[in-house]
């Protein structure tokens, strides 16, 4: 149960971690017109030497999930301007979507080196490290990101999960509690606090946080939490019965 719960919870977190950075990934772009791809294709035909038009065409392809086309245009952008940090960042997103973590990490690191004022690459770098099981590297990336954006939603959760991956549960709990303090409307800290306490077999605290999660209006899937609660209650019952047998 614990392994399944942790795996499903991580899946929820990864969705949060990716969706939010994608929404800010084009921080330099203008509002695109109705047919983004055709618009930027026309622009690249008229101005093939402009890196911005290739970048925006790449991002339009990215929005459609056309990873290969997006990759081609972002790489063309870097041919025209090797210092275009946003193209490096978005190439990292492309390779993450393709499941090529090493290449994603490479381009996130390039984006960081090219533009230290754009910390979003640090967050996605941490996610890529986490996916590879490189928890220390993920922690370092998240901590650097949090120094730039201490109030960023879900960042403390990501940090806590990396600590949990190293079995540093006290630090994981501190990170999840910090997320609860900064973003009391966020349901995920209670879910992950429930997970950690369940793994530690501190069942009363695990149940407390799972119950808080169930009461949260933003909880999308209650069934996973209810199953976790049922499993804990069954484990507690079994423990009481075994204790009772021992006394006889």
Q: Does 10 lie in the same domain as 38? A: no
**What pLDDT is stored for residue 247 in this prediction?**
58
Q: Which residues contact 169 (CB under 8 A, 6 or more apart)?
A: 163, 196, 199, 200
Q: How far is CA 203 from CA 199, 234, 239, in A?
A: 9, 11, 11
Residue that wins the pLDDT comparison between 241 and 185: 185
Please check the confidence at residue 107 and state whether its pLDDT lies above 70. Answer: yes
Domain boundary at 63, 95, 117, which? 117
Residue 137 lies in a domain: no
Please check the confidence at residue 8 and state whether its pLDDT lies above 60. Answer: no
Q: Does 176 lie in the same domain as 103? A: no
Nearest to 129 by CA among 108, 110, 151: 108
Q: What is the CATH number of the domain that holds 1?
A: 1.25.40.10
Residue that wins the pLDDT comparison between 69 and 37: 69
Q: What is the widest separation between alpha-carbon atoms in the chain?
A: 88
Question: How large a percentage of the chain has pLDDT more than 90?
Answer: 64
Task: Report yes or no: 207 and 232 within 8 Å, Cβ to Cβ.
Answer: yes
Average pLDDT (167-194) is 96
Q: Does 9 lie in the same domain as 32? A: no
Please check the confidence at residue 178 and state whether its pLDDT lies above 90. Answer: yes
Residue 14 lies in a domain: yes
Number of domains in the chain: 2
Q: Does 227 lie in the same domain as 209? A: yes
Task: Report yes or no: 16 and 154 within 8 Å, Cβ to Cβ.
Answer: yes
pLDDT mean across residues, the chain: 84
**What pLDDT is stored for residue 246 in this prediction?**
58
Confidence of residue 29 (pLDDT cuts 50, 70, 90): very low
- Which of 168-177, 194-203, 213-222 comes out lowest in average pLDDT? 213-222
Rg of the Cα trace of the chain? 22
Q: Does 233 lie in the same domain as 170? A: yes
Q: Does 97 lie in the same domain as 37? A: yes
Confidence of residue 19 (pLDDT cuts 50, 70, 90): very low
Domain boundary at 117, 136, 167, which? 117
Task: Give dist(CA 33, CA 36) in Å, integer.
Answer: 6
Task: Give dist(CA 93, CA 90) in Å, integer.
Answer: 5
**What pLDDT is stored for residue 149 in this prediction?**
93
Q: Does 46 lie in the same domain as 90? A: yes
**What pLDDT is stored for residue 44 in this prediction?**
85
Task: Give dist(CA 95, CA 98) in Å, integer.
Answer: 5
Q: Does 182 lie in the same domain as 107? A: no
Residue that wins the pLDDT comparison between 230 and 8: 230
Render 80-148 in DSSP notation, one character per residue. H-TT-HHHHHHHHHHHHHTT-HHHHHHHHHHHHHH-TT-THHHHHHHHHHHHTT-HHHHHHHHHHHHHH
Residue 224 lies in a domain: yes
3-state secondary structure of 28: coil
pLDDT in tens, 42-91: 888 888 899 999 999 999 999 888 999 999 999 999 999 999 999 999 99
Tokens of 76: 């063309």
3-state secondary structure of 32: coil
Please check the confidence at residue 35 and state whether its pLDDT lies above 50. Answer: yes
CA 179 to chain centre: 14
Please check the confidence at residue 222 and state whether its pLDDT lies above 50. Answer: yes
Domain boundary at 117, 141, 165, which? 117
**What pLDDT is stored for residue 129 in this prediction?**
96
Q: Does 8 lie in the same domain as 55? A: no
Q: Does 219 lie in the same domain as 168? A: yes
Residue 124 lies in a domain: no
- Within 10 angstroms of residue 52's Cβ, the number of other Cβ atoms is 20
Task: Give dist(CA 196, CA 180) in Å, integer.
Answer: 15
Confidence of residue 236 (pLDDT cuts 50, 70, 90): confident
In eight-state DSSP terms, residue 220 is S
Tokens of 59: 């991002």
- Within 10 angstroms of residue 220's Cβ, the number of other Cβ atoms is 9
**Containing structural domain, residue 103:** 28-117
**What pLDDT is stored for residue 59 in this prediction?**
92
């Amino acid at each position: 149960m614990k392994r399944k719960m942790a795996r499903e919870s991580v899946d929820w977190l990864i969705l949060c971690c990716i969706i939010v950075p994608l929404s800010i990934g084009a921080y330099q772009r203008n509002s695109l017109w109705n047919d983004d791809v055709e618009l930027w294709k026309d622009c690249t035909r008229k101005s093939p030497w402009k890196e911005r038009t290739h970048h925006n065409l790449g991002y339009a392809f990215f929005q459609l999930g056309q990873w290969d086309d997006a990759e081609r245009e972002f790489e063309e952008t870097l041919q025209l301007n090797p210092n275009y940090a946003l193209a490096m960042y978005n190439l990292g997103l492309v390779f993450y979507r393709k499941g090529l973590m090493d290449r994603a990490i490479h381009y996130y690191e390039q984006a960081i080196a090219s533009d230290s004022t754009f910390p979003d690459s640090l967050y996605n770098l941490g996610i890529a490290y986490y996916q590879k099981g490189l928890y220390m590297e993920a922690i370092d990336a998240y901590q650097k990101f949090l120094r730039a954006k201490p109030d960023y939603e879900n960042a403390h959760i990501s940090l806590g999960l990396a600590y949990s991956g190293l079995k540093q549960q006290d630090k994981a709990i501190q990170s999840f509690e910090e997320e609860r303090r900064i973003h009391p409307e966020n349901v995920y800290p209670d879910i992950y606090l429930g997970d950690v306490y369940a793994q530690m077999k501190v069942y009363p605290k695990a149940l407390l946080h799972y119950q808080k999660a169930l009461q949260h209006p933003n909880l999308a899937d209650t069934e996973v939490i209810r199953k976790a609660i049922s499993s804990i209650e069954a484990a507690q019952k079994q423990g009481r019965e075994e204790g009772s047998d021992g006394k006889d």
